[in-house]
Amino acid sequence: MPNLMLIAVSFLLPIIIILSEKRFKLIEWLSPVVCCYGAGILLGNLLGPIWDPKLARSMSEISVLMALPLLLLSVDLLGWFKLAKTTIVSFLILIFSVMIVSYFVGIYYKHHDPEVWKMAGMLVGVYVGGTANLTAIGKILGVREDVFVMLNAVDVVIGGFYLLFIMSFGVKILSRILPAFDHNSSKEEDYDLIHWGRLSLTQKARHSLLLLILSALIVGVSILVSKILTGEEVPGIIILGLTTLALMFSFNQKIRHFEGSQELGQYLLLVFCLSVGSLANGSQLMSGSWWYFLFCGLIMFGSILLHFLCCFFLKIDRDTAIITSMAGIFGPAFVAPMSQVLKNRAILVSGVTTGLVGIALGNFVGVAVAYLIK
């Protein structure tokens, strides 16, 4: 019975948080991701023996494996290269900034902890793509479970500070440093980016079922490939396999434009956030987090500063610099709120696409930097 309750809470609570986002400003301000992490930490620590950590761990692994293909199915890799030159240049600068800062911070602290090289690679993944990449790279590299849980929790806290700053004072500060966006060079979008809200409840259910079947098929084939090659389920092979397969499917226009993949993928990520948050031990987080805060903070804010500094010298406009930073650091889900803060819908589609490309690239560059440090 407790296991059924855990499963029900893990899947229903993210839905409640999503539905409550527009009604409660606190949830909208914190974001559903932070709320699900927080709810998971509270549930895991308050319910104690009733909350089964083994089941929570299994749910976190399953949810993120199912979410990754769904997030990648809507990536338009070829179309991304047709975007405005400044968008691509700004995002490439962000990738370079994250890689170079992570490498040097990782080298500097290499002998501090044997898991440092893995931690640096995971942070490259999350700041180029998103939370799904941090988890995927952690599985690929076989990071210790306590490190994995702590890094997730600390990333949420530090990311929250940057989100609050960039959505308030950051925009005003960067307005004084970077050029203004040229609205004449980009047409305003006269269509909605995602049409999920227009579908009926029956259509949403049908789309969700088909997408879940496709995602499960991609994960299943990846597991099968891993067993054929090694005789066992190797996380690295499985994740790289499903990333490749999902990107191959994304070249099919019908699949790429099939509504619901992003919404379903983001929902499963919230399930993951709640599940992995419940594994965080409160006393452990308070006693040992200073090191993780320092390491994560140096990489995140060092990468952000280097990115904006390069944008300054290359005269990249404020809106493009900010939206590519948000797309990389937080993922495509945060692009729409940021475009509203900037009062610029012209960057919405390119920003979301850039975030999706970041998810596709995150695993590869993160693993590469990790092994360079090692």
Within a domain: 29: yes
Whether residue 14 lies inside any domain: the answer is yes
Query: What is the residue type of 309?
Result: L
What domain count does the chain have?
A: 1
Express each pLDDT in 262-283 by its tens digit: 888 888 888 887 887 787 666 6
Residue 85: pLDDT band by 50, 70, 90 thresholds?
Answer: confident
Q: Where are the alpha helices (DSSP H) in 142-234?
A: 145-165, 171-177, 201-230
Return the minimum-mean-pLDDT range out of 70-84, 234-248, 318-332: 70-84
Is the residue at 148 inside a domain?
yes
Closest CA to 91 of 286, 299, 281, 358: 358
Q: In this structure, is residue 197 part of a structural domain?
A: no
Burial class (CB within 10 angstroms; exposed 0-12, middle 13-18, buried 19+) of 62: middle
Residue 231 pLDDT > 60, yes or no?
Answer: yes
Residue numbers of the domain that contains 243: 2-181+204-373
pTM: 0.71
Q: DSSP H helical segments within 231-373, as ranges?
A: 235-250, 253-256, 261-277, 282-313, 318-329, 335-342, 348-373
> Tens digits of per-residue pLDDT, 133-176?
888 898 888 888 878 878 877 887 787 778 778 877 888 888 88
Q: Is residue 170 part of a domain?
A: yes
